[in-house]
């Protein structure tokens, strides 16, 4: 592969150098040198169309008050209300993890058929086909949506 690339590059360089002396002597004499006509073996390449200018958006405003659950000026309150979900594991405890994924450490357990309060949902590691994880309301723990049935739609974290 590399040998073929180097060989093709050398052939192109030799062809360009072959045309340079003729063009240089013609330029000194004030003549123009016609370029060779394209053949069927040499493909013609068109230059790509220029890319459109990137769209500039206005800078985002700092929303520190929004993250704390307080309403920004001109907005309604965005405080998250917990939703109740039910643990659907059978005869085993559900692991509560410190983050949305199986790679995070276990910080607690919930028993099967118990109610848990959920605040929001986020994406994490895959558990039996789903990547959705729920954040618990009482502390910063996460449980897989595979093992919890929520009562209503939750907002994204």
- Alpha carbon distance 78, 66 (integer Å): 7
pTM of model > 0.85: no
Q: Please say if the pLDDT value at position 11 is more than 50.
A: yes
User: pLDDT tens-digit profile of 67-88?
Assistant: 444 444 444 445 567 899 999 9
CB burial of residue 107 (10 Å; 0-12, 13-18, 19+): middle
């Amino acid at each position: 592969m590399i040998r073929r690339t180097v060989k093709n590059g050398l052939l192109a360089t030799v062809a360009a150098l072959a045309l340079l002396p003729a063009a240089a002597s013609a330029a000194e004499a004030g003549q123009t040198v016609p370029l060779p006509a394209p053949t069927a073996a040499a493909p013609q390449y068109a230059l790509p169309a220029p890319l459109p200018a990137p769209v500039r958006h206005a800078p985002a405003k700092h929303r520190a008050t929004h993250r704390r659950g307080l309403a920004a000026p001109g907005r309604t309150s965005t405080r998250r209300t917990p939703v109740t979900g039910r643990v659907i594991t059978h005869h085993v405890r559900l692991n509560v993890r410190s983050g949305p994924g199986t790679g995070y450490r276990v910080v607690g357990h919930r028993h099967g058929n118990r109610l848990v309060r959920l605040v929001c949902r986020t994406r994490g590691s895959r558990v039996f086909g789903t990547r959705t994880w729920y954040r618990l309301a009482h502390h910063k723990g996460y449980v897989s949506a595979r093992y919890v049935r929520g009562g209503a739609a939750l907002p994204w974290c």
